[in-house]
Amino acid sequence: MQRRTLIQASFAAGALFLGASFTAAPALAQGSWPTGKAITYVVPFPPGGNTDTLARVIAQPLSQALGTPVVIDNKGGAGGSVGSAIAARAPADGYTILGGTISSHAINVSLYSKLDYDPVKSFTPVAMLGSGPLVLVVPAASPYRTLDDVLAASKSKAGVGGLSSASPGTGTSPHMALELLAYQTGVKFTHVPYKGSGPAVQDVIGGQVDMMFDTTLIVGPHIQSGKLRPIAVTSSKRLESLPDVPTIAEAGQKGFDMGSWQAVFAPAGTPKAIVDRLHAEIMKIVATPEVQARLKSFGMLPSTMTPADLADFQKAEVAKWAQVIKAAGIKAD
């Protein structure tokens, strides 16, 4: 993929289902924002992941609404830290936005000993796109059927580190869900990091690992096929797609609530009028039936947070994960 990809050309597939829903905004007054200069949408992860896919879902209609090109720039590395640092250094003029996540804008600041940006001070929150609850699953042949079963079994194996739990890597949201469960229950688990969700879920299906957390996008098909058994979901409410699966809070761990969230940020100091316009246009896009359906296909719950709501939420997330990471003694360096 080229470094800078024009959305109108690269996202033709998305335009098929989104293009009819949006009309281009009338030309803006001379000297106003945007002036026709392209807006760079930095994605701090490689092409093909959820953050990249969502950026392309948002960018095409955003380009039409603003009457200016919106260009995706993938800058992956260090759990979103590389691209986030690049966006943080960009001019605060409305021509750079960033696809931020729970990793890049809440977890990494405590996970890495050195970060070239501050997730709160270096950015202005623009819009929350949505949050993807995770599902705790075990192999179909596992004897564990409830969260109490899992906790009791892990306690009984404390001498060998407890039950094993796979994840797509250290510091990822599935890993953090495990550490949050350990933090809140005092039960030990053995984290088994993989290079991606694909090999992790296959080893859980095969019984080489006892369990794992991941999104419905990853584990949903294996639940439907009967290869994995869902134990509980991490959100505060049950999922429409898994109505019979309790939340972790319902299963006895009150207050447990987490999701792998996706949001849009701009460099700190971006004028409020520009942030407000970006927020309004992105929220219109997120509210369309097409995008709502796309988000839900990712296992995400769409959001209606204001920029101020997102700012408060992000600060709370930074504080929460700092406690969990410190208690677990995790470092990604």
pLDDT value at 122 more than 50: yes
More confident residue, 172 or 211: 211
Q: 167 in helix, strand or coil?
A: strand
User: Which range marks the domain in which residue 324 is found?
Assistant: 5-132+260-328
Are 45 and 75 part of one and the same domain? yes
Longest dimension (CA), the chain: 70
The more confidently predicted of residues 63 and 20 is 63
In this model, does residue 83 exceed pLDDT 90?
Answer: yes
28 and 15 in a single domain? The answer is yes
Report the pLDDT value the prediction gives residue 273, as an integer from 0 to 100: 97
Q: What is the mean pLDDT of residues 253-267?
A: 95
For residue 192, give the nearest of 166, 161, 172 by alpha carbon: 166
Average pLDDT value over all residues in the chain: 90
Mean per-residue pLDDT for 155-178? 94
Q: Give percent of the chain above pLDDT 90.
A: 80
pLDDT of residue 143: 98
Are 123 and 149 within one domain? Answer: no
Q: What's the average model confidence in pLDDT over 250-268? A: 95
Token couple for 247: 């939340």
Reduced to 3 states, what is the DSSP secondary structure of residue 276?
helix
- Domain with 307 in it: what CATH number? 3.40.190.150
Going from the C-alpha of 230 to that of each of 197, 238, 280, the distances in angstroms are 16, 12, 37
The mean pLDDT of 108-119, rounded to a whole number, is 95
pLDDT-derived band at 28 (thresholds 50, 70, 90) equals very low
pTM value is 0.84
pLDDT of amino acid 221: 94
Domain boundary among 233, 252, 271: 233
- Three-class secondary structure assignment of 17-86: HHHHHCCCCCCCCCCCCCCCCCEEEEECCCCCCHHHHHHHHHHHHHHHHHCCCEEEEECCCHHHHHHHHH
pLDDT band (50, 70, 90) for residue 142: very high
Question: Are 199 and 171 members of one domain?
Answer: yes
Q: What is the CATH number of the domain that holds 177?
A: 3.40.190.10
Same domain, 222 and 306: no
Q: Per-residue pLDDT averaged across 238-257, rounded?
A: 94
Instruction: Assign 181 a pLDDT band (cuts: 50, 70, 90).
Output: very high
Q: Is the pLDDT of residue 258 over 50?
A: yes
pLDDT band of residue 30 (cuts 50, 70, 90) is: very low
The sign of the torsion formed by the CA atoms of 123, 104, 78, 112 equals positive
**Domains: count for the chain:** 2
